[in-house]
Amino acid sequence: MPSEFKELPEEEYLEIYSRQIVLKDINYEGQLKLRNAKVCIVGLGGLGSPAAIQLTGMGVGHLRLVDRDIVERTDLHRQYLYGVNVLGYPKVEAAAKRLNDLNPGVKIEPLPIYLTAYNVESIIKGMDVVVDGLDTI
């Protein structure tokens, strides 16, 4: 279930990210780079879920979420992207909904699949950065 992607009017965009834009190390040009960035997060557990929240909040333009697991009760104490209302749901679907609620200006692309040696190239194709959030081998 792909989330809704809303292109924000420039005035609203500038207001939302004004506190980042005023930082000399980010400024307007840096924020535009974030807006145009494409990041793939593989694994939405204890490592990937906080990364997804932060990248969404920063305004990264496109997040591709890759995970095949479902949300379990034992996840909730360390994976604060999820709550009891999404127990049993695929992590990518629950994450996409929550991240879209946090920032509808970010395109969220959920892929409920396992990353393998056979599909890795197609999964990361077109991405600028890959976040390895896998906590198992």
**pLDDT tens across 50-98, in order?**
999 999 999 999 999 999 999 999 999 999 999 999 999 999 999 999 9
Within 8 A by CB and 6+ apart from 73, the residues are 84, 87
In three-state secondary structure terms, 35 is helix
Domains of the chain in start order, with CATH, are 10-132 (3.40.50.720)
Helix (H) or strand (E) holding 109: strand 107-111
Q: Report the predicted TM-score, pTM, of the whole model to 2 decimal places.
A: 0.90
19 vs 6, 22, 28, 69, CA distance in Å? 21, 6, 11, 35
Contacts for 60 with CB less than 8 Å, ≥ 6 apart = 34, 35, 37, 38, 39, 106
The answer, yes or no, to whether residue 3 has pLDDT greater than 70, is no
Residue 16: the pLDDT is 87
65: closest CA among 84, 48, 77?
48
